[in-house]
Amino acid sequence: MPDKTNDAISMLEEDHKKVEKLFKEFEKARADNRKQELYQTIREELMMHTQLEQNIFYPACEEDQDEEVAEAIEEHRVIQDLLTELESIQPSDERFDAKMSVMMENVEHHAKEEEEKKMFPKAKKSLGMERLRELGERMERMKMEAQGGRRAA
């Protein structure tokens, strides 16, 4: 277990920063194998982040943010569809970079909406720090279980 407990919002914002850094690396990448490697890392990060939000964070927010949660879930679906489409395209194909660009724009829009406009500010007020820390603990356990499962494979 980690030494300190992060609250759910801090953890999700940290994920957003991590993926944004990976996006910047992808934009600089020239070699197809590096692009493929970065795509796989981005995909794994986004899949875990989506699971944390949809299984733990969004249900806690749903009572007073049902419209925001519904929109966020739909945005996740669009991003997932783009990731799935990227699975069948080689980085040497010009469509790969174009589709990655669209996917990155969607993720950046989604993160900005959560952080600045809607969900996170409302959740801080409605849930309170104690509840956000509890959600953060659950999210941390879920991440650790997923990482442990990958190592065992």
Could you tell me the CA-to-CA distances from 108 to 13, 59, 60, 85, 103 in Å, in that order? Answer: 12, 22, 23, 19, 9
pLDDT recorded at residue 64: 82
pLDDT recorded at residue 62: 85
pLDDT recorded at residue 2: 43
3 inside domain: no
68 inside domain: yes
**Mean pLDDT to the nearest integer, 84-102:** 96
The pLDDT of residue 20 is above 90: yes
pLDDT recorded at residue 76: 96
111 inside domain: yes
30 inside domain: yes
- pLDDT band per the 50, 70, 90 thresholds, residue 15: very high
2 inside domain: no
pTM for the model: 0.89
Domain with 77, as residue range(s), is 8-152
126 inside domain: yes
- pLDDT band per the 50, 70, 90 thresholds, residue 3: very low
Domain count, the chain: 1
**Mean pLDDT to the nearest integer, 58-64:** 90
1 inside domain: no
* Measured distance CA(73)–CA(7) in Å, rounded: 21
DSSP structural state of residue 92: T
72 inside domain: yes
Compare 112 and 118 and report the one with higher pLDDT.
Answer: 112
